Structure 1
Amino acid sequence: MAYGVHAYADDPRNASILIAVNDQLMPRDKAVVSVFDSGFVLGDGVWEGLRLHKGGIPFLWAHLERLYEGAKTLDFSVGLTPDALVKRIFDCLAANGMTDGVHIRLMVTRGIKATPYQDPRVTIGDATIVIIPEYKAPSPKPDGISLFTSTIRRTAPDMQDQKLNSHSKLNCIQACIQAAKAGADEALMLDPQGFVATCNSTHFFIVRRGEVWTSTGDYCLGGITRGNIIRVAEAAGITVRQKNFSLTDVYGADEAFVTGTFAGLTSVREVDGRKMGHPLKGPGPIPGEMTARLAGLYRELIEAETFRP
Structure 2
Amino acid sequence: MAKGTHEHALDPRNETILISVNGALKPRAEAVVSVFDSGFILGDGVWEGLRVHNGGIAFLDQHLDRLFEGAKAIDMDIGLSREALTERLFETLAANGMSSGVHIRLMVTRGVKSTPYQDPRMTITPATIVIIPEYKEPTPEVITRGVRLFTVHVRRGAPDVQDPMLNSHSKLNCITACIQAAKAGADEALMLDPHGFVATCNSTHFFIVRKGELWTSSGRYCLHGITRGNVLSLAREAGIPAHEKDFSLTEVYSADEAFVTGTFAGLVPVFEVDGRTIGGGREGGPGPMTRRLREFYATLIERECSPRELAV
Label 1:136 to 1:2 Cα distance change in 2 as closer, same or farther (>3 A): farther
> Is residue 38 of structure 1 aligned with residue 47 of structure 2?
no
CA contact (8 A) 2:272 2:282 kept: no
CA deviations 1:167-199 (Å, max 9, x no partner) are 001010000000000000000000000000000
Return the offset for 1:164. Answer: 0.2
Return the offset for 1:284. Answer: 8.6
CA contact (8 A) 1:46 1:165 kept: yes
In structure 2, which of residues 243, 246, 254 is the aligned counterpart of residue 244 of structure 1? 246
Corresponding residue for residue 303 of structure 1: 302
Corresponding residue for residue 175 of structure 1: 177
Distance 1:212 1:241 in 2: 6
Corresponding residue for residue 112 of structure 1: 112
Distance 2:176 2:305 in 1: 34
Distance 1:283 1:180 in 2: 18
Return the offset for 1:76. Answer: 1.0
> What amino acid does structure 2 have at the position aligned with 1:46?
V
In structure 2, which of residues 167, 191, 194 is the aligned counterpart of residue 192 of structure 1? 194
In structure 1, which of residues 198, 210, 221 is the aligned counterpart of residue 212 of structure 2? 210
CA contact (8 A) 2:107 2:129 kept: yes
Distance 1:121 1:56 in 2: 37
Return the offset for 1:306. Answer: 2.7
Alignment of 1:159-170 (within 5 A): 159-170=161-172
Identity %: 68
Return the offset for 1:2. Answer: 7.6
Partner SS, residue 113 of structure 1: coil
CA contact (8 A) 2:2 2:187 kept: no
Partner SS, residue 250 of structure 1: helix
Of 133-142 and 230-239, deviating more is 133-142
> What amino acid does structure 1 have at the position aligned with 2:76?
F
Distance 2:289 2:178 in 1: 27
CA deviations 1:21-61 (Å, max 9, x no partner) are 00210000010000000000000000000011010011000
> What amino acid does structure 2 have at the position aligned with 1:191?
D
Label 1:283 to 1:127 Cα distance change in 2 as closer, same or farther (>3 A): closer
CA contact (8 A) 1:60 1:306 kept: no
Label 1:3 to 1:72 Cα distance change in 2 as closer, same or farther (>3 A): same
Label 1:2 to 1:164 Cα distance change in 2 as closer, same or farther (>3 A): farther
Corresponding residue for residue 290 of structure 1: 289
Distance 1:58 1:93 in 2: 14
**Which stretches in structure 2 are left out of the alignment for 5+ residues?**
none
Of 138-147 and 285-294, deviating more is 138-147
Return the offset for 1:302. Answer: 1.1
Return the offset for 1:304. Answer: 1.7
Return the offset for 1:285. Answer: 2.9
> What amino acid does structure 2 have at the position aligned with 1:91?
E
Corresponding residue for residue 132 of structure 1: 132
> Is residue 8 of structure 1 aligned with residue 34 of structure 2?
no
Distance 1:188 1:96 in 2: 36
Distance 2:41 2:2 in 1: 25
Alignment of 1:48-197 (within 5 A): 48-139=48-139, 140-141=141-142, 142-197=144-199
CA deviations 1:63-87 (Å, max 9, x no partner) are 0010000110110110000000000
CA contact (8 A) 2:145 2:282 kept: no
Label 1:180 to 1:283 Cα distance change in 2 as closer, same or farther (>3 A): closer
CA deviations 1:257-299 (Å, max 9, x no partner) are 0000000000001000000039xxx999311000000000011
Corresponding residue for residue 225 of structure 1: 227
In structure 2, which of residues 269, 272, 281 is the aligned counterpart of residue 270 of structure 1? 272
CA contact (8 A) 1:254 1:283 kept: no
CA contact (8 A) 1:16 1:28 kept: yes
Corresponding residue for residue 201 of structure 1: 203
**Which stretches in structure 1 are left out of the alignment for 5+ residues?**
none
**Coordinate RMSD, CA, aligned:** 1.5
Partner SS, residue 124 of structure 1: coil
CA contact (8 A) 2:146 2:282 kept: no
Q: TM-score, normalised by structure 2?
A: 0.96
Corresponding residue for residue 20 of structure 1: 20
Distance 1:2 1:286 in 2: 15
| Number of aligned residues | 306
CA contact (8 A) 1:22 1:129 kept: yes
CA contact (8 A) 2:271 2:279 kept: no
Distance 2:284 2:10 in 1: 29
